Amino acid sequence: MAKKPVTFMLNGSERAAFAEEGLNLLEFLRRAVGDLSPKYGCGQGTCGACTVIIDGETHLSCLTMAEAVQGRKVETASGLANGKVHPLQEAFMEHFAAQCGYCTPGMLMSAKVLLDHNPSPSRAEVIEAISGNLCRCTGYEPIIDAILATANTRRLA
């Protein structure tokens, strides 16, 4: 199968790897690039575990072609901590918002894009923002609380 080089920015640094034709971004990131933070939950766009940020917007990497990120900026959960853990990660820990943790990288991506666009979201807006991310463990409440708390702390800071 034909392989195409894909060059893109991953969490602030330039990366290049070969993608087989038709390979999706999730498999590309995990296997070709070696970033294991986006998770495979369903492979068909229904669970949100594979959520990444492309040019500032959330995308389901299982439904995105690898070639589509050529020349674009991709962010994943593994790039969130920059020297120290990101305030969202801190809040997820504080509020016990992860149990098995499988949904967490996707949740963090959805939460980050929400707060980047809307620094003071309402509870309903938080719920809307993570409505495409399934969680089997937490009952969602601790996740909602953690995202609201991050927005609050930022407002006070």
Catalog residues that contact ligand FES under the rule CB under 6 A: 40-43, 45-50, 60, 62, 98-103, 135-138
Q: Is 73 helix (H, G, I), strand (E, B) or coil?
A: strand
Distance, CA of 17 to CA of 66 (rounded, Å) = 10
119 binds, among other proteins, ligand FES, none (CB under 5 to 8 A by kind): none
141 binds, among other proteins, ligand FES, none (CB under 5 to 8 A by kind): other proteins
- 3-state helix, strand, coil split of the chain in percent (to 5) is 40, 20, 40
Rounded to the nearest whole angstrom, what is the least distance from the CB of residue 20 to other proteins in the complex? 25
Q: In Å, how far from its chain's centre is CA 6? A: 20
Among ligand FES, other proteins, none, what does residue 140 contact (CB within 5–8 Å per kind)?
A: other proteins
Measured from the CB atom, the residue of 11 and 58 that comes closer to other proteins is 58
- What residues contact 34, with CB distance under 8 A and at least 6 apart? none
Report the C-alpha gap between 116 and 123 in whole angstroms: 16
Interface residues toward other proteins, by CB under 8 A:
42, 44, 46-47, 96, 98-101, 123-124, 126-127, 130-131, 133-135, 137-144
Residue 74 φ then ψ, to 5°: -115, 135
Q: Give 105 or 142: the residue with its C-beta nearer to other proteins.
A: 142
Q: Is the CB of 32 or the CB of 98 nearer to ligand FES?
A: 98
* Six token digits for residue 156: 């006070």
Closer to other proteins by Cβ: residue 52 or 143: 143
